[in-house]
Amino acid sequence: MSNAEQATRARERTSHARDYSPGFFVKLTLMALIDALGAYGLLACWQEGATGIFCALLAILIAANYVYFSKRALAAKYIFPGLTFLLVFQIFVVVYTGYVSFTNYGDGHNSTKQAAIDALLQQNERRVEGSQAYPLVVVERDGDLGFAIIADGEVRVGSSDQPFEVVKAELDETDPTKVSSIDGWAILSFSDIVSKQSDIMALRVPISDEAADGSVRTADARVGYVYLPFLRYDPDEDVMVDTMTDVTYYPNGHGQFQSDEGQTLSVGWRVGVGMENYLMAFSDSRYAKPFFAVLAWTTVYSFASVALCFLVGLFLATILNDPRIKGRRVLRVLLIFPYAIPGFLGALIWTGLLNRGFGFVNQVLLGGAHVGWLTDPWLAKVSVILVSLWLGFPYMFLICTGALQSLPADVMEAAKIDGASRMQAWRGITLPLVFISTAPLLISSFAFNFNNFNLIYMLTGGGPRFPDASVPVGQTDILISMVYSVSGLDGSAQKNYGLASALSIVIFIIVGTVSAIAFRQTRKLEEMI
């Protein structure tokens, strides 16, 4: 038996996998907590019908228990946590984003076809003539609004997601048509009703689980009436019929019901659309023109920010690396001060400093001028780059300082002996060596600035807007902030997660390609030196 095999068996014998030592019980406790959390997650996935996530979580739990209770998986014990996080937070996110990019997921296409049918039946209603009027009060629980009605001498409560059901309640002694208290629900006061009037007017509480039974609505928060859907779904023909106009709506293959005249119903469902989102991003004039403008600006901004931060940081690091400079420690502390401020907070500070009307730069430094640092298209771009420089040069300064101090002294001495001047030694030895050691950081800084959403969102909000753009995109928007606007999460447009995901995949490809080329060129530079 070789020495390596003997050492391996010795490690297996000393493993805490099943030797019942204190380390084993510590591991057993930790794994019990992980399994308990995993079991909770499995139950939640089962209840929500998330089959894919359920299977993935189950596989991870089984693998974790095998790895940490087996003596044969010693190496896997160290790489399993990192591998799990890589799969969950990187690979899964990219794959799911890619999946969404091939769908029409967004406003009006959020769920399944059956959910869309139910929503259409519930939202397209008319009052039943001659129907009973129910005494009603508006109630609330955990932020959810609901109605409490009196029907057949019983108090029933429901919300938009929960049909009416009988509950324990007390009626007003002086007026038996009014409810005074309800178990588990709070009755809204008049002032609360006024403040939430629009939500109350839009609230529909279903009579039962069957959408065809209708729902209760109110116009005055005191009396409720039954409303029935005027749309009827025919499951055999798979059509939606408007009973008031006799118009028939057919599934159009894009997740909507559409009539022969081209009219569509408001609520649809999620379906695959192939490459439509990618074609829309590059061919639809609404998105293509601002997309290419934003792509060009994003590239210029990313390269300019990295280059300026590196050059300024290297310049300051070179100066303060000279032992003849007095007070170097104090100066270094002052120079890294911007790095101690969170990036989003620094951007907000500069938003105030550069304000056209009352900003410190205009009012104090420029004597009351009204320069549109954040409103003029070109000045806004310059401001973004300068603020990025202010936030980023301390990091490069620290990196370059460490790189300069780690340079081998014998190489510099050899250059002096060979008669090289300071400039020649700096240009031929110092700069290439520093660049090699900092190149990976420069590449990562480029990727960071390419997706530096915080700075753009906090400083300019992407503005000023393009005057001819039909989408909410501005002159200083970079691709990631454009994705945020197109997705509709900022409330400026309808949500379009499919298109936003397609743009995200494009960003991923661009950054990945540039990073791969840059790393390859860096290796060539190392070989040349």
User: In angstroms, rounded to a whole number, what is the distance separating the alpha carbons of residues 240 and 319?
Assistant: 76
Question: Do 394 and 505 have their domain in common?
Answer: yes
- 174 part of a folded domain: yes
pLDDT of 8 higher than 60: no
Report the pLDDT value the prediction gives residue 483, as an integer from 0 to 100.
Answer: 92
Report the pLDDT value the prediction gives residue 63, as an integer from 0 to 100.
Answer: 92
Mean pLDDT for the chain? Answer: 87
Q: What is the pLDDT of residues 149-177, one digit of tens each?
A: 988 888 999 998 899 999 988 888 777 77
Question: Do 322 and 380 have their domain in common?
Answer: yes
Question: Do 240 and 316 have their domain in common?
Answer: no
Higher-pLDDT residue of 75 and 310 is 310
Domain count, the chain: 3
Question: Do 513 and 375 have their domain in common?
Answer: yes
The residue among 188, 189, 149 whose CA lies nearest residue 171 is 149
Which string of DSSP letters, residue by residue, matches 97-132?
Answer: HHHHHTB--BTTBSS-HHHHHHHHHHHSEEEPTTPP
Average pLDDT in the 349-375 region?
92
Average pLDDT in the 50-72 region?
89
418: confidence class by pLDDT, cuts 50, 70, 90: confident
What are φ and ψ of residue 258, in 5° steps?
-135, 140
Question: Do 419 and 352 have their domain in common?
Answer: yes
What are φ and ψ of residue 189, in 5° steps?
-80, 175
| Domain membership of residue 379 as a residue range | 283-528
- Positive or negative, the Cα torsion across 255, 256, 257, 262? negative
- Range with the poorest average pLDDT among 60-69, 124-133, 185-194: 124-133
- 490 part of a folded domain: yes
Question: Do 453 and 305 have their domain in common?
Answer: yes
Report the pLDDT value the prediction gives residue 304, as an integer from 0 to 100.
Answer: 95
- 265 part of a folded domain: no
Q: What is the pLDDT of residues 41-53, one digit of tens each?
A: 999 988 887 888 8
- 314 part of a folded domain: yes
- Of the residues 70, 101, 132, which one is the last residue of a structural domain? 101
pLDDT of 220 higher than 50: yes
- 394 part of a folded domain: yes
- Of the residues 48, 75, 101, which one is the last residue of a structural domain? 101
- 320 part of a folded domain: yes
The residue among 366, 385, 350 whose CA lies nearest residue 459 is 350
- 278 part of a folded domain: no
Question: Do 290 and 420 have their domain in common?
Answer: yes
| 464 prior amide bond cis, ω within 30 | yes
Instruction: Count Cβ atoms below 10 Å from residue 528 Cβ, excluding itself.
Output: 7
- 202 part of a folded domain: yes
Question: Do 150 and 92 have their domain in common?
Answer: no
Average pLDDT in the 266-282 region?
92
Which string of DSSP letters, residue by residue, matches 25-80?
Answer: HHHHHHHHHHHHHHHHHHHHHHHHT-HHHHHHHHHHHHHHHHHHT-TT-TTHHHHH
Question: Do 390 and 475 have their domain in common?
Answer: yes
Question: Do 120 and 179 have their domain in common?
Answer: yes
pLDDT of 11 higher than 70: no
DSSP 8-class letter at 275: T
